[in-house]
Amino acid sequence: MSTFDPQQLQTEFARTLLQASADAQQLLSTLQEEHQYLKDNNLQAFQELQTRKQHDVQTIQLFEALREQFCARLGIDAEADDFGQHLESEGQALWQQLINALKQCDELHRTSDIYMRQRLDSINKALEVLQLNRPSRATNLYNKLGNSFTASQVRSLSKA
């Protein structure tokens, strides 16, 4: 039966936490670039950035798997809100840095998502207006004598 040294485990996890904090900062930087590309309508750069963003997210997911292993070895509930209290003081500070960076990432991602949805809504509304002007969207109308004639919806809307 092998034993483990809790102190060594704490030290190893502190290194992992330091790397995760750097990875979270990288993700934040990527999300900031992504948001700027959205605002600038630079869709080419936005699209090219997605691979890097995916990699950054995967590194954070890898850290989460390592954190769960750390918790399992020390008998800590990985879902507990007070996870940081199980770390040494250096680890607690790194944990707080990581949490703060991830909160910023979440906020920026939500902001970009809202911005993108608003832009898509505007584009869809513009497309709807353009489709109303197409001849294939013409409507049959009837005059007082019952004779039909074709009128676009735009024309009928302008009479309204």
CATH number at residue 119: 1.20.58.300
Other Cβ atoms less than 10 A from the Cβ of 8: the count is 9
Q: How far apart (Å, rounded) are the C-alpha atoms in residues 153 and 138?
A: 6
The structure tokens listed for 10 are 């704490």
pLDDT tens string 22-78: 999 999 999 999 999 999 999 999 999 999 999 999 999 999 999 999 999 989 898
Name the domain count of the chain: 1
Q: Is the residue at 1 inside a domain? A: no
Write the DSSP assignment of 36-90 as a string of letters. Answer: HHHHTT-HHHHHHHHHHHHHHHHHHHHHHHHHHHHHHHHT--TT-TTGGGGS-HH
pTM to 2 decimal places: 0.74
Domain of residue 69 covers: 6-159
pLDDT, position 144: 66
